Amino acid sequence: MYATAGEVGEPIRGVAQGVISGVNDNWSVEPAIDTPNAFVIRSLIHNQAGWGFINENASEFHEPVLLNVPEAKWRIEKVQSSSGETYRHVISPVEATTRVGVSIYVSIENDVLSLIPIPVIPDAPVPQWAWGYGKLPCTAVHGRAQPCSTGTRGTLCGGRCIPHHSENGHSSSGGSLKHVL
């Protein structure tokens, strides 16, 4: 199931590959300007609309993730699958009101992206996402990024200088997000 945009203000759906145009399942992931280690996930077909909440921040378990303006900020962390694959990521809201002993993750419930509580215990299964194509920002992949020292406006990522190409001076990426667990 792929995270797929509908209309602004509606829940983002989980849709099987090939059911609708592949354009609706393309997302841009950009570093949040004012929050370290946080990202904004935006639709490539809806101008400035991105993953958001019903209210200003996540407050309810099983709350749907909406295509919204303003968009929310997300943590995207690399995880290793049981078979050793490291291309998988978990996505969670930066700001969430939760109960003690649980963390909130993005998963799919009833074909809609939703905020799911997972107990904070060792080896608890958490919802995982794979980036279909394109690349995630350096900090999501490598855990850190630094400016290039070559005089080029860019970010040093994995030994390579990635030039900045977005309006806000940060590198961005695009691709589809597939729910894999």
Please give the tally of structural domains in the chain. 1
In a domain, 39, yes or no: yes
pTM for the model:
0.73
Nearest to 95 by CA among 125, 66, 117, 75: 75
State the pLDDT confidence band at 21, using cuts at 50, 70 and 90: low
Residue 32 belongs to some domain of the structure: yes
Q: Residue 142: inside a domain, yes or no? A: no
Domain span at 15: 2-136+173-180
- pLDDT bucket at 79, cuts 50 / 70 / 90: confident
Within a domain: residue 107? yes
CATH number of domain containing 68: 2.80.10.50
The answer to whether residue 113 is domain-embedded is yes
101 within 8 A of 149, measured Cβ to Cβ: no
CA–CA dist 104, 83 (Å, integer): 24
